[in-house]
Amino acid sequence: MRHIPTVAWLSIAALVCALLFALFGGWLSDHAATQQNLLARMRPPLLFGGDLAFPLGTDRLGRDLLARMAEGLRISLLIALLGSVLGALFGCTLGFVAAHFRGWVEETIMMVVDIQASLPFILIALTLLAFFGNSFGLLIFLMAMFGWDSYARLSRGVVLSAKSQPWAEAVRTLGVRPVALYLRHVLPNVAGILIVQLTLNFPQIILLESALSFLGLGIQPPMTSLGQIMGDGRDYLSTSWWISVLPGLTIFLVSLAMCVLGDWLRDRLDPALQRVRQ
């Protein structure tokens, strides 16, 4: 086992904790995420004057923040995961197609990539959500649309350079079909780079979803997400800060851990950087 630096360990630990909390955090609470209790509105968290019944406090409807945060984190992670995986699949497919066909196919795809990259995405998302009303499906679609262009651009580049390697030419002269060449040879060789892109894209999607939900255009009640809980607490920031700050902190920590992990992975998997280190 090669040496893993402390920050990488810390971020892996943070992400595992976040995942466990998202999956099983609800069990820590006696209340359901949607259960209202108007007698226990805006209770502060433990250590800030609260009690064990609501360790992270309650919101304006007296819902238990611990249960809501677990639920919200689960939804946020789910959306980010689905969004980045779908975006990666879509972008990489287009990138591979562009690199294979070259010519006008490549030019068209790269043109679309450039257009996508120059659009103010959050405005497009707001418009689409406003027009079509929001649904979970549309939200996932938007998340997938966010960032596919970077996968397309990246995968086109790495595939082009892998394709011109002598080993790829050798495989071609063996009579192997192009699809097999890409899936069996090129993909394993460029997967590291794409995975790193995934880890860097993931936190951005969490942030985008949070922003949309904060604005009230993302996840709709009774479902919840971290951004939505934050948005919920917007009006009570001066009196009940914990409603916004706790989910905000969670978003921050998860995104940071993911970024640090991606950074470390890039150093690990990038052969050029590896050579420098040796």
Interface pick for other proteins out of 1, 39, 123, 174 (rule CB under 8 A): 174
Interaction with other proteins in 186-215: which residues (CB under 8 A)? 188-189
Helical packing angle, 103-118 and 65-101, nearest 10°: 150
How near is the Cβ of 185 to other proteins at its closest, in Å? 5
**Residue 170 lies near other proteins (rule: CB under 8 A):** yes
What six digits make up the tokens of 178? Answer: 């192009």
**Residue 169 lies near other proteins (rule: CB under 8 A):** yes
On whether the CB atoms of residues 24 and 69 are closer than 8 A, the answer is: no
Candidates 146-154, 165-173, 230-238, 258-266; binding stretch for other proteins (CB under 8 A): 165-173
Interface pick for other proteins out of 167, 237, 252, 274 (rule CB under 8 A): 167
Nearer to other proteins, 173 or 238 (CB): 173
**Residue 39 lies near other proteins (rule: CB under 8 A):** no
Interface pick for other proteins out of 46, 97, 176, 269 (rule CB under 8 A): 176
How near is the Cβ of 271 to other proteins at its closest, in Å? 9
Interface pick for other proteins out of 137, 175, 221, 222 (rule CB under 8 A): 175
- Phi and psi at residue 58, to the nearest 5°: -130, 165
**Residue 161 lies near other proteins (rule: CB under 8 A):** no
Find the DSSP H helices in the chain: 6-24, 65-101, 103-118, 121-132, 136-145, 148-163, 166-173, 178-180, 187-214, 226-232, 242-269, 271-277
- CA 30 → CA 68, 110, 201, distances in Å? 12, 53, 35
**Burial, 10: exposed, middle or buried (Cβ in 10 Å; 0-12, 13-18, 19+)?**
middle
Candidates 4-12, 18-26, 50-58, 163-171; binding stretch for other proteins (CB under 8 A): 163-171
**Residue 272 lies near other proteins (rule: CB under 8 A):** no
Candidates 44-52, 61-69, 71-79, 177-185; binding stretch for other proteins (CB under 8 A): 177-185
What six digits make up the tokens of 262? Answer: 């991606």
**Residue 165 lies near other proteins (rule: CB under 8 A):** yes
Interface pick for other proteins out of 20, 130, 180, 237 (rule CB under 8 A): 180
On whether the CB atoms of residues 169 and 161 are closer than 8 A, the answer is: no
On whether the CB atoms of residues 65 and 37 are closer than 8 A, the answer is: no
Spacing of C-alpha 33 from chain mean position: 23
**Residue 133 lies near other proteins (rule: CB under 8 A):** no
**Residue 179 lies near other proteins (rule: CB under 8 A):** no
Question: What is the amino acid identity at position 266?
Answer: R
**Residue 108 lies near other proteins (rule: CB under 8 A):** no
Which residues are near other proteins by CB under 8 A?
A: 165-177, 180, 184-185, 188-189
